[in-house]
Structure 1
């Protein structure tokens, strides 16, 4: 029992990790009813938000593969509804997690997992030489901007509630001065992974990130991360820097096979110009995520095509290229072994006639010599051919087990 008690006490003393699971795939967009194709634009904006949040990369929407996907949102969207907020109509969307992750893989973008560090935010705002802490329920425009920016990047934030314990435990002077011990003591009641102290003077922000749990700030302190931002978008700048910091630590690029891929064989490709022209035309197709050269043999080039759509849609798009046509699959190679032919011995009563028949035609037999010919003097007609000894060729690499489409190319 004594050992069990010590074990329980040890487990209770371990810090609790407060990683928060972020909902990456749900979003909502205000519908601009004055815009042409407003629904399509809203769906594209929703997918763009999800891609940025899931990748941890604010520039992810400019990726060429993602740009193609923004025009084909239906294969990523699995839920949509409409709601009224104030005077605006809002589109609420849910996107398929596996399909979004597959798109990130095709675009070679990182994936920032849903379990992310939760930051406790102490925001101190100065106005007319008066400083105040913005609590969770505060009506602060800056706090609202910070929350919106954090939601867009998928960065979890926790705001102090501003109850009696917070008001008596957190001193504005300690927060403004960056004194780690009182900040640690005031923050320990919140189970977060890091503590962020923000000091705002007008449109200028200075911030300090203690990237560790509050109780560790004293027992095992780390050097804090400092930064500053200014201007109308200062809150967004700060959140972007913090999000980039955590995404760089935790995001990974998944080097996996595309969930949709096909082999496409083109011939005749009779030179470098034809090859590069074909490659460029294929990469422009909205159904194509990326291309890999699998094989070049003679005048035939085989690509592995990573798809954003179905195989049928890719084939239809490829055939709309002026120089591309469809051709039949080549016949399967003859792989069956040639049957061995064994010469049959002559029977005892066999006789040599004056004529022999070759391929149905009568051919005069050669005159026989005076001496009889024994069977041992006859050279067999069917003899094994002599094969020059040569080193064995390297086996040809196997192609992926993917369907193959055959096209002609006439440039």
Structure 2
């Protein structure tokens, strides 16, 4: 009897353990045994999965900054091991949370916080009969739904199917859309929203009540609804729900970088050279983004946000060419004091000048003058600036040839004249 009581208590308290704080930075990818570089490909796929999960944006992997980072995935990995999933070997990976967040900010992608809404899923499948799918029920739709929700980082809770669940809600309530009994039966679960899904073959119809179960049927908040078809209908549904919640709570963090350096380029004599250099820098795999700090004469100073080490950036810059490295410089930023400085003394009228002089002479020679406190500039650390010389050829404008006009090249004209003179002299 004691064991039975503990079992019932465990079933009642189990849903309270459901996590809404998602582990965003771990992934597990099945290894393609036929691929030449199976591990390398799996690391890329694992990082893609983490980026989509952390950003909430399925198109994040197409971002140019992210593409560069994927080729340097080892810099973001913190753990790696092998595992098994359904009899297949997998690669388990853990990625650095600060580095992934920094990458998203560099790429100007949103960050979907790890604390996410937990959704209670009431799934009804119609085959020969209509049945409610519980947490441990065999269901291909449920497995597909759970798998995709794990990839997107969407927390789901499925009813355990105990006595309270079975007696609390009927199939007809879920299929017919009677929301009050559904809301009442959902209140025992600590969730933030309730999803009712009706499955018929490869077709899904769903309704999302994005509110606490206690308010369902009480407030007039309209639910969200949709339908999906095909063998991947559950995947499509999870993607739509994930996109909805990501758009609702994700934020774009200000552009930051885990590491940035200042770089100055000289001998940029024209705008064409400047834009050519800027495009070369943006294409470097070690560069996330660049900011222009100063343009003075034929010199441009950039703040370069890095995806890799400064040493790798230096090597890539020289390979990009035509660039020559010069000696680096160290500069201290100019600090301007804006606080007013009080004068050390007040102006004395000429009539009182003699009195002041006499008082000064009578003053004891041992008396010291009071030190005047003046504000001092704050200490600002010096910054090292890498210096390079741009050796690209100056841009030369070539006028287009216009039909109906004769364009004479000076060099060819001179050669033609010389040939004519030689022919005339030989004829004579």
1:401: how far off?
Answer: 6.9
For 2:95, the equivalent position in structure 1 comes to 95
In 2, distance between residues paired with 1:321 and 1:401?
Answer: 29
Q: Would you say the 8 A contact 2:78–2:96 is kept in 1?
A: yes
Whether the 8 Å CA contact 1:80–1:93 is kept in 2: the answer is yes
For structure 1, the residue ranges without an aligned partner over 5 or more in a row are: 1-15, 336-398
Contact (CA 8 Å) 2:330, 2:382: kept in 1 or not? no
Q: Is the 8 A contact 1:262 1:311 kept in 2?
A: yes
Structure 1 position 284 matched with structure 2 position 283: yes
Find the aligned partners of 1:171 and 1:247 in 2 and give their Cα distance.
32
Between the aligned partners of 2:221 and 2:98, the Cα distance in structure 1 is 37
1:38 to partner: Cα distance: 1.4
TM-score scaled to structure 2, two decimals?
0.74
Contact 1:54 1:112 in 2 (8 A): yes
- The CA distance in 1 between the partners of 2:181 and 2:96, in whole Å, is 45
Q: Report the equivalent of 1:234.
A: 233
Equivalent-residue separation in structure 2 for 1:149 and 1:62 (angstroms) = 20
1:73 is matched with 73
CA distance in 2, matches of 1:62, 1:302: 29
Contact 1:108 1:253 in 2 (8 A): yes
1:62 and 2:43 are equivalent in the alignment? no
Counterpart CA distance in 2 for 1:84 and 1:193 is: 33
Q: Distance in 2 between matches of 1:19 and 1:218?
A: 26
In structure 2, runs of 5+ residues without a counterpart are 1-15, 335-379, 393-428
Verify: 1:34 aligned to 2:34, yes or no.
yes
Q: Distance in 1 between matches of 2:287 and 2:320?
A: 14
Give the drift of 1:86.
4.4
- The CA deviation string for residues 31-53 of structure 1, in whole angstroms up to 9 with x for no partner, is 11221221111111111110000
CA-based RMSD: 2.1
Alignment of 1:15-54 (within 5 A): 20-54=20-54
Q: Which has the higher helix share?
A: 2
2:304 maps to 1:305: yes
- How far off its partner does 1:91 sit? 0.7
Deviation at 1:218, TM superposition (A): 3.2
Instruction: Encode CA deviations 1:288-331: one digit per residue, 9 max, x unaligned.
Output: 00111111111111111110001111111111112011012469
Contact map agreement 1:18 1:117 (CA 8 A) in 2 = no
> Equivalents in 2 of 1:112, 1:311: separation in Å?
30
State the shift of 1:17 in Å. Answer: 12
Contact map agreement 2:327 2:386 (CA 8 A) in 1? no
Question: Distance between the aligned counterparts of 1:331 and 1:261, measured in 2?
Answer: 16
Query: How far off is 1:205 after superposition?
Result: 1.0
Partner SS, residue 174 of structure 2: helix
Give the distance between the partners of 2:329 and 2:95, measured in 1 at CA: 41
Q: After superposition, what is the alpha-carbon deviation per residue over 1:220-249, rounded to whole angstroms, capped at 9, x for unaligned? A: 341111111111221111111111111111
1:227-376 mapped onto 2 (5 Å cutoff): 227-329=226-328
Q: Is the 8 A contact 2:124 2:175 kept in 1?
A: yes
TM-score (norm 1): 0.77
Q: Give the number of aligned pairs.
A: 331
After superposition, what is the alpha-carbon deviation per residue over 1:152-184, rounded to whole angstroms, capped at 9, x for unaligned?
Answer: 100000001111211121111110111110111
Whether contact under 8 Å (1:51, 1:61) holds in the other structure is yes
Q: Does 1:190 align with 2:189?
A: yes
Q: Alpha-carbon deviation of 1:192?
A: 0.6
Q: Please list every run of at least 4 consecutive aligned residues from structure 1 whose deviation after the TM superposition is greater than 3 angstroms.
A: 16-19, 84-87, 329-333, 399-403
